[in-house]
Amino acid sequence: MDGAAADTEWVPEALGFGQHLGDLAVAATHDGAGWSELRLVPRADLAPPMAGGAVQYALSVFEGLKAYRDPAGGVHLFRPRMHARRLVASATRLGLQPVDEALFIEGCVQAVRAHLALLPPHGRGALYLRPTLHVDGEFLGLRAPRRHGFSVLLSPCSDPVLKRLRLWAEPELIRAARGGLGAAKTGANYAAGLAGLLRAQQRGYDDVAWLDADDHCRLAEAGSMNLFVRVGDRLLTPPLDGCILAGVTRDSLLHLAADEGLQLAEAPLDLDQLMCAERRGVLGSAFGCGTAARIAQIDEIGNVDYRIRFADDGLPQRLSARLKAAQEGADSRYAGWWWGV
Ligand SMILES: *Cc1c(COP(=O)(O)O)cnc(C)c1O
């Protein structure tokens, strides 16, 4: 990793996210008959062909999960089986050959073991893993894919600090519609979203709040985070309607938030209802969540026509602390979510 690990000044808090990559990756290939053994290879040797489905037709899917050091110094992956199952679902939606759960987890374990020296101490960061499945081979047409590549890239990252965001409720562009790719973790969704992010940033917002494709009335998700809003003593998050990603962090929070004494509901986040709740004084905090950021507080969602201001009720901070303990191996009630490396 570009010298950072060898540097005696190595400070986990300065790693950020996604900026440093491990020199090695774990990779396997599928030739149409079955998956090869996993191999440890130089990351720089992995390159999907230009004249192939991954580059030309966005035929690739990915995952993002983290490995943490627990208080006793042990190392675990957080909820790798749920990530493995989601990669299978994403691959199936795109028509790709899935990798089975065992190969997925073994690839992650090997990637972590090869980079243990880069794993920050307990509480100060993680190894972010990026398992990727793509169509391999050279062919300039769309056909049933034969050759596939699976690889696990790795990036040491800081413990995320709780950010505060203003989101642009995008009034024209959409990210996903029913029957589309919204529930798949695939680059095509990011391709659909980049122009919206640029628009948001040009207007001084931090990220996009994507709305539903039918009538642009309901919050769907942020660029790479699922959304939660508190209204009174209810904590609401949009249902898994096929247009949003089934976030592992979202699912974890649906378990953890019960400890806050809140009533949880997967329910549409209708903009009009949120504005009404704001007028009535019962609109609480809002936040986005995902593996990379953990939790990001949302102060405001709006565009040129309206602005919804969320309360600062301390809930994002409290849930972030609960989630951090569950992820990092400090809250043994969630030991079932840890996979020892
Ligand atoms: C990965 C991702 C998320 C967050 O999912 P987690 O499993 O919680 O990391 C949310 N939305 C999109 C579009 C994503 O790609």
What is the per-residue pLDDT across 254-270, written as a single tens digit (0 to 9) for each? 999 989 999 999 999 99
* E-assigned strand segments in the chain: 24-30, 39-42, 60-62, 65-69, 75-78, 125-135, 148-158, 164-169, 207-211, 218-222, 226-231, 234-237, 263-266, 269-270, 283-290, 294-302, 307-309, 338-340
| Number of the ligand 1 atom closest to the C-alpha atom of 223 | 13
What is the rounded distance in angstroms from the CA atom of residue 244 to the CA atom of residue 241?
A: 7
Average pLDDT, the chain: 95
Q: Is the CB of 90 under 6 A from ligand 1?
A: no
Q: Is the CB of 154 under 6 A from ligand 1?
A: no
Residue 93 above 90 pLDDT? yes
Gap from CA of 87 to ligand 1 centroid (Å): 12
Task: Convert the pLDDT of each residue in 99-110 to its tens digit.
Answer: 999 999 999 999
Token pair 């769907």 in the structure block, residue:
220
Name which of 271, 246, 110, 242 is nearest 181 in CA terms: 242
Residue 74 above 90 pLDDT? yes
- Phi and psi at residue 191, to the nearest 5°: -65, -40
| Number of the ligand 1 atom closest to the C-alpha atom of 292 | 9
Gap from CA of 249 to ligand 1 centroid (Å): 8
Gap from CA of 280 to ligand 1 centroid (Å): 32
Gap from CA of 186 to ligand 1 centroid (Å): 10
Mean pLDDT value of segment 156-161: 97
Residue 2 above 60 pLDDT? no
Which residue blocks in the chain are alpha helix, DSSP H? 53-57, 80-94, 101-113, 187-202, 248-256, 271-280, 315-328
3-state SS assignment for residue 64: coil
Token pair 């790709």 in the structure block, residue:
96
Mean pLDDT value of segment 197-206: 97
Q: Is the CB of 99 under 6 A from ligand 1?
A: no
Q: Is the CB of 245 under 6 A from ligand 1?
A: yes
What is the rounded distance in angstroms from the CA atom of residue 83 to the CA atom of residue 194?
A: 24
Supply the pLDDT for residue 223: 85
